[in-house]
Amino acid sequence: MSDEHYFSQTPNTEFRPKEISVELDGRKVSVTTAGGVFSPDHIDTGTQVLLEHLDQVPPSGDLLDVGCGWGAIALAMALHSPHATIWAIDVNDRSLELTRMNAARLGLTNIKVCRPEEVPTGLKLNGIWSNPPIRVGKDVLHEILLTWLPRLEADAEAFLVVQKNLGADSLHRWLEAEMPANYSTIRVDTAKSFRVLRVKNRG
């Protein structure tokens, strides 16, 4: 499947689950993936770059993975911060199903998997970690970011990984221009052609 369609609500390929071995939060685990979702054969390189910063995931509170895919980021956060609640959201039903399956098989009870509109209105977030869906196009991406970033608590941060040649620097400029004055965005890492941007609500 081409990755243009990994964000379809209902993938049109048959659901054929498969096992892959991955390392999450320093632990070797088996997870279930399938065609029709993002990066089903391994942890995406950008996601790996983001997960190098896992030590900065807050130990508690409500944390969000925007666009969870089969769950790589949400699962790693949940393993790293067992006292936090991880909201894993996606618009792709197969992604949601796989993330639920993977949370269950890793015995993680601190992940809530749901569609974006099912996150309680008014829930404030203590952190956002995301490999956001760039291929949906700028307008949709901006709408997604304008939905979730303003929900950061004071002093809370979002970590976003974006490929350099898919517009990481223009997204950085857009965040600086469009976020409220009490938000700041800095680049905290560049590796393997990806940038990690940290957006902070300074309160």
Ligand X SMILES: C[S@@+](CC[C@H](N)C(=O)[O-])C[C@H]1O[C@@H](n2cnc3c(N)ncnc32)[C@H](O)[C@@H]1O
Among 22, 49, 64, 73, binds ligand X (CB under 6 A): 73
Site for ligand X in 158-177 (CB under 6 A): none
Least distance to ligand X, CB of residue 203, Å: 26
How many of the chain's residues bind ligand X (CB under 6 A)?
A: 22
Per rule CB under 6 A, is residue 32 in the interface with ligand X? no
Burial class (CB in 10 A: 0-12, 13-18, 19+), 120: exposed
Q: Which is nearer to ligand X, 91 or 191 (CB)?
A: 91
Angle at alpha carbon of residue 130, lines to 38 and 128, rounded to 5°: 150
Among 24, 64, 119, 144, binds ligand X (CB under 6 A): 144
Q: What is the DSSP letter of 56?
A: G
- Kind plus residue range of the DSSP H or E element containing 130: strand 125-130
Closest CA to 200 of 74, 86, 186: 186
Per rule CB under 6 A, is residue 97 in the interface with ligand X? no
Per rule CB under 6 A, is residue 197 in the interface with ligand X? no
Residue 165, Cα to own-chain centre: how many angstroms? 19
The one segment of 20-28, 85-93, 171-179, 181-189 that binds ligand X by CB under 6 A: 85-93
Least distance to ligand X, CB of residue 184, Å: 24
Angle at alpha carbon of residue 95, lines to 68 and 118, rounded to 5°: 70
Q: Which is nearer to ligand X, 38 or 194 (CB)?
A: 38
